[in-house]
Amino acid sequence: MPPPLSSVLAGARDTLPLTVGTTPFAVIFGTLAVAAGLPPIAAVAMSVIVFAGSAQFISVNLIGGGAALPVIWLTTFVINLRHALYSATLQPVARDWPLAWRALAAFWLTDESFAVVDRRFRAHGTEGALPYFVGSALFFYLNWIVWTAIGAVVGHQFSGLATLGLDFAMIATFAAMVAPQLKALAPVAVAATAGSAAWLGQALPYKLGLIGAAAVGVIVGVALDSRRRRTDSPAAVSPEDPR
Partner 1 sequence: MSTTLWATILGMFVATFLIRASFLVFGQRLRFPPAVIEALGHVPVAVLSAIVIPEAIAPGGQLNLSLANPYLVGTLIAGLIAWKTGRLLVAVIVSFAVFGAMRWLL
Site for partner 1 in 96-155 (CB under 8 A): 99, 102-103, 105-107, 109
Q: Which residues contact 179 (CB under 8 A, 6 or more apart)?
A: none
Binding letters toward partner 1, positions 33-62, x by CB under 8 A? -----xx-xx--xx--xxxx-xxx-xx-x-
Q: How far apart are CA 136 and CA 113, in angstroms?
A: 6
State which residue, 9 or 74, has the beta carbon closest to partner 1. Answer: 74
What are the C-alpha distances in Å from 173 to residues 71, 79, 179, 213, 220? 22, 16, 10, 20, 24
Instruction: Name which of 11 and 217 has its Cβ closer to partner 1.
Output: 217
Total residues contacting partner 1 by CB under 8 A comes to 90
Q: Among 9, 64, 87, 154, which residue interacts with partner 1 (rule: CB under 8 A)? A: 87
| Pairwise CA distance, residues 139 & 134, whole Å | 8
Q: How far apart are CA 216 and CA 79, in angstroms?
A: 15
180 binds partner 1 (CB under 8 A): yes
Per-residue b/e over 127-163, b at no fewer than 16 CB within 10 Å?
Answer: ebbbbbbbbbbbbbbebbbbbbbbbbbbbbeeeebbe
Nearer to partner 1, 6 or 91 (CB): 91
Nearer to partner 1, 9 or 45 (CB): 45
Q: Which is nearer to partner 1, 103 or 237 (CB)?
A: 103
Output 10 or 194, the one with its CB closest to partner 1: 194
Residue from 5, 16, 85, 142 that binds partner 1 (CB under 8 A)?
Answer: 85
Q: Is the CB of residue 189 less than 8 Å from the CB of residue 222?
A: no
Q: Does 222 bind partner 1 (CB under 8 A)?
A: yes
- Interaction with partner 1 in 153-172: which residues (CB under 8 A)? 164-165, 167-169, 171-172
Query: Which residues from 64-83 bind partner 1, rule CB under 8 A?
Result: 69, 72-83
Say if residues 5 and 13 touch (Cβ distance below 8 Å).
Answer: no
Nearest to 81 by CA among 228, 214, 213: 214
Answer yes or no whether residue 175 interacts with partner 1 by CB under 8 A. yes
